[in-house]
Amino acid sequence: MTADPTVPRRGRRRPALRAALTIAAGAGLLATLAPAAVARPVGSSSASGCHGAVHLTAADRADRTDSAEGRADWAAADAALAGLTGPGYGTSALGAVRENGRLVWRNATGVADLGTGRPADPDGRFRIGSTTKTFVATTLLQLVGERRLDLDDRLECLLPGVVPNSTAITVRQLLNHTSGIANYTQDPAFEFTDQDWLTDRRFQPYSLQALVDIADRYPPAFPPGRDWGYSNTNFVLIGMIIEKLTGHSWQEEVTRRIIRPLHLTGTSMPGNSPFIPGPHAHGYLKTDAGPADVTLLDPSMAGSAGAGISTTADLTTFVGALLGGRLLPPAELAEMQRTSPNGGGRSYGLGLQRVDTPCGTFWGHAGGIPGYSTLMLGSADGKRQFAASLTVYDVGDGTAANAAWNRLTATALCGTQAPALDPSAVPGPVPDLARPGS
């Protein structure tokens, strides 16, 4: 789950986020939950380069495009991926491209564990933050297609009295962030750089209702439908609506409707488990005492706004199936791609973000949660998809970090000859539980 860089946190805007769209079995319990320096500094391992020759499977290598142009594109993508970990912006980076249903490039760079220097695994899982929103929006829109509700239904009819202005808020306004509902992650409880969060609050369990109750402590940002403002609370409420209509948890519905039919074996929507199952890179926060390992946390702090776990291969499969028309009827998919006319929402549809590039329009979502940043994009025709994960570490120079992310995205989507993408159109790599949008 991430926060919107266009929305100030308690009146302040983080410079490193200005260029971004509103967009990132565990290794066992930590010996101590307090942040502690590790013996190996970021970038000191010989494993900090790309590992395509080592980690891509034989099938992956066979899938790589054989043309000279294709080989150049993937070599450039390898270099762009290394450009994220070499300067220390992240401790690991993973990327994948799928074309016409075929995985044509997948790689990893950096280390999965700073303590051991174990290389990052292209198959590794990671927390996807707000990219979860696209899974949740798709599930809700399936219910719309089944006539279980309408996009213009009032929130008050579905969840009476749940938030102020509920009689004036529609389901559509929740999905496209025009409801004006306060973002619960503005609360100090989600200031994840605090020592108390690192040692204690990151294991705090939350129900969806508890997250909404936190949001209700704050006044609405604007009257419903009058502006645009990214709020994680909107998608917590979408999760509650799914549960109300189906009688099942939002996780069960996403699993039943999307994860199982698409055979997304590396994807899960956890409840309170702090672990990332299967192989994965550790996530870290930079502190005065050194890297703090934040891989373990209670994902209920993000709920249906950002608790998901996935892989680059699964994300490309999902967004390809979505935009290829396999998950939604045409009418609901068209609604999903109808962007808001208000402010920063002009590139935001219903749980789906638009990125315009020299090689066409792409749709997807980015996400961030402590330690992890994610980007998932697919072409409007469903033929080409890209996904990447960065275990963000040292982004003191946010402009440079965003530029490196931009280079990877441009190369993966459009090839070596593509000009740099407009920085204002590409979701940046800086994740944040409290500042959505990634």
Residue 391 and residue 91 in contact, taking contact as beta carbons nearer than 8 Å: yes
Task: Write down the catalytic residue from 130, 166, 347, 438.
Answer: 130
Q: Which amino acid type is present at position 311?
A: T
Task: Provide the H-helix boundaries in 94-207.
Answer: 132-145, 155-158, 171-175, 195-199
**C-alpha angle 212-26-291 in degrees, rounded to nearest 5:** 80
3-state secondary structure of 9: strand
Residue 342 and residue 178 in contact, taking contact as beta carbons nearer than 8 Å: yes
Q: Residues 139, 144, 149, 153: what is their CA dihedral angle, to the nearest 10 degrees? A: 100
Interhelix angle 232-246/132-145, rounded to 10 degrees, is 40
Residue 145 and residue 334 in contact, taking contact as beta carbons nearer than 8 Å: no
Cα–Cα distance list, 138 to 4, 255, 344 (Å): 21, 12, 22
Cα–Cα distance list, 200 to 18, 92, 150, 197, 294 (Å): 30, 26, 41, 5, 11
Q: For residue 130, indicate whether it is catalytic.
A: yes
Distance CA(247)–CA(250), nearest Å, equals: 9
Q: How many other C-beta atoms are found inside a 10 Å radius of the C-beta of residue 235?
A: 29
Sign of CA dihedral 302, 1, 9, 173: negative
Active site residues: 130
